[in-house]
Amino acid sequence: MLFAIGAGPQVIGVSSFDDYPPETKALPRVGALLDPDVERILGLRPDLVLTYGSQGSLEAQLASAGIRTFSYRHGGIQTIFETMRDLGAATGHAASALSKVSELEAQLDAVKGSVRDRSRPRTLLVFGRQPGSLQQLYVSGGTGFLHEMLEAAGGINVFADIARESVQPSQETLITRAPEVILEVSPTRQISATDAVQERAVWSPLASVPAVKGGRIYFLYGDYLVVPGPRVGLATERFARALHPDAFQ
């Protein structure tokens, strides 16, 4: 978000997992959500530190050192936009943040317009499972940015009625919910065409599920698909292209 709104040159340190945009790779690493390196953060002498909403202890340590913090939490798409606007105000880039949010809103509107007249398939959005099995299955519930992206892309979330970001359904529940499409998203686990065949076969015990019966199981890769940030429009379009390929020909 900082780089997207023009505050990239002000960034002096990043978390252990930041690798986008490429400029982040040359910056000092200061730990992550569960293991922030307070000594290194202090050594960089920042004016502002971005923290997640659950990092109360880190915020208290920084406050005692006289360092201002900006606390955020993940939520829906509107939360992404609100965070970007607030970051713009906090870093002196209010105008460019507003412009970027408007650009993202236009991207999402364009995706919605492309699929508006298409039928909306009942979709299971999977963002985690044990490779080669249906164990440790995590799917999108009816709240959060992934759910909202799926809806904007022209799908109906089969777990829309569950007011949680993450659901761990049983196989029996999946049979009952009967998704017509299964979208599996992964930030890093790119697989070959051969592996994709094998991973689709993992779903064969659920042969009565329409998505399995009809072969509508799609694997999507890229960290932008699961990161609530300025690539949300691009990710939503990727969902839409999987669900409604004819709308983008």
Kindly list the structural domains of the chain, giving each domain's residue range(s) and its CATH number in brackets, ordered by start.
8-112 (3.40.50.1980), 117-248 (3.40.50.1980)
How confident is the model over 150-161, as a mean pLDDT?
A: 98
Percent of the chain with pLDDT over 90: 93
pLDDT band of residue 189 (cuts 50, 70, 90) is low
How confident is the model over 87-93, as a mean pLDDT?
A: 98
Residue 166 clears pLDDT 90, i.e. is over it: yes
Tell me the average pLDDT of the chain. 96
Rounded Cα–Cα distance for residues 87 and 89 (Å)? 5
How confident is the model over 217-244, as a mean pLDDT?
A: 96
> Which of 231, 149, 225 is CA-nearest to residue 189?
225
Report the pLDDT value the prediction gives residue 230, as an integer from 0 to 100: 97
The number of angstroms, rounded, from the C-alpha of 211 to the middle of its chain's C-alpha atoms is 23
Rounded Cα–Cα distance for residues 141 and 139 (Å)? 6
Residue 163 clears pLDDT 80, i.e. is over it: yes
The model's pLDDT over 99-125, given as tens digits with 9 standing for 90+, comes to 999 999 999 999 999 999 999 999 999
Amino acid code (one letter) for 16: S
**pTM here?**
0.93
Query: Hey, which bits of the chain come out as E strands?
Result: 48-52, 68-72, 122-128, 138-140, 156-157, 166-167, 181-186, 217-221
Report the pLDDT value the prediction gives residue 188, as an integer from 0 to 100: 79
Rounded Cα–Cα distance for residues 75 and 97 (Å)? 18
Torsion of CA 200, 206, 208, 213, to 10 degrees: 0
Report the pLDDT value the prediction gives residue 194, as an integer from 0 to 100: 83
How confident is the model over 33-58, as a mean pLDDT?
A: 97
Residue 55 clears pLDDT 70, i.e. is over it: yes
Residue 126 clears pLDDT 80, i.e. is over it: yes
- What are the backbone dihedrals phi and psi of residue 64, each rounded to the nearest 5 degrees, phi first? -65, -20
Pick the residue with more confidence: 132 or 44?
Answer: 44
